[in-house]
Chain A
Amino acid sequence: DTAVSQTPKYLVTQMGNDKSIKCEQNLGHDTMYWYKQDSKKFLKIMFSYNNKELIINETVPNRFSPKSPDKAHLNLHINSLELGDSAVYFCASSPNPAGSYNSPLHFGNGTRLTVT
């Protein structure tokens, strides 16, 4: 069983469209994250949710809106897509908000978003 699963794996869309990426974890973790990896492999945190509540919100355009219907799911909706949004987006989870301090994050396999 995949611990952290993301869909879709690939997403190709045109500028101006709205798209969503879904993430689910079956580890029973309380905390979930979205990371963006650019073309140079640099990883940056975007959001973190703990038990459906937003706890980390980095400087991200408000076109990006995370939604957590329950603690096992964290979806990412992106409005009015731009060329610069092209990247690989990773979902991750940890047992608690301090999880990355004491225990590793578990990452999904990523969603490669290409905006044309």
Chain B
Amino acid sequence: GNSVTQMEGPVTLSEEAFLTINCTYTATGYPSLFWYVQYPGEGLQLLLKATKADDKGSNKGFEATYRKETTSFHLEKGSVQVSDSAVYFCALSARTGANSKLTFGEGITLSVRP
């Protein structure tokens, strides 16, 4: 079956530090890949996505590249801010007939200190 594995957390960084959150996946076929973010007390919201190999998703200074050869979709940001403190989920979506199902990784909590 499909699965997503994220690096273990939590992660604590100082403001303006470089961020990398690792994500690898296992899937049949050609899934779409996503990063979702959950701010405290809120639901998840899409951060970025990539739908085919070598695509780069980007938003709010975050980037991730769909690497089929390493089955990875690592999230990076050059300079984090306190407001980036949240839980980050890597996810994949694979089509099954007319339907699709989103499979999430375990989530990783990022805390950014001033």
A contact residues vs B (CB 8 Å cutoff): 4, 40-45, 48, 50, 55-56, 90, 92, 97-102, 104-105, 107-110
B96-114 interface mask toward A, CB cutoff 8 Å, 1 = contact, 0 = none?
Answer: 0011111010110100000
Is residue B68 contacting chain A, with contact meaning CB distance below 8 A?
A: no
Tell me, in angstroms, the Cα distance from A55 to B104 when the chains sit together.
Answer: 19
Count of chain B residues near A, Cβ 8 A: 26
Taking CB atoms, residues of chain A closer than 8 Å to B51 are 101-102
Is residue B61 contacting chain A, with contact meaning CB distance below 8 A?
A: no
10 contacts between A and B (CB under 8 A): A41-B106, A43-B44, A48-B101, A50-B99, A98-B99, A98-B100, A99-B100, A101-B93, A101-B100, A107-B45
Taking CB atoms, residues of chain A closer than 8 Å to B44 are 43, 90, 92, 105, 107
Residue from B34, B43, B94, B107 whose CB has the most chain A CB atoms within 10 Å: B43
Taking CB atoms, residues of chain A closer than 8 Å to B49 are 104
Taking CB atoms, residues of chain A closer than 8 Å to B45 are 104, 107
Taking CB atoms, residues of chain B closer than 8 Å to A104 are 34, 36, 45-46, 49
Tell me, in angstroms, the Cα distance from A92 to B38 when the chains sit together.
Answer: 14
Taking CB atoms, residues of chain A closer than 8 Å to B106 are 40-42
Tell me the smallest distance from the CB of A21 to a CB of chain B, in Å: 13
Taking CB atoms, residues of chain B closer than 8 Å to A102 are 32, 51
Tell me the smallest distance from the CB of B48 to a CB of chain A, in Å: 10
Is residue B89 contacting chain A, with contact meaning CB distance below 8 A?
A: yes
Is residue B87 contacting chain A, with contact meaning CB distance below 8 A?
A: yes
Taking CB atoms, residues of chain B closer than 8 Å to A50 are 99
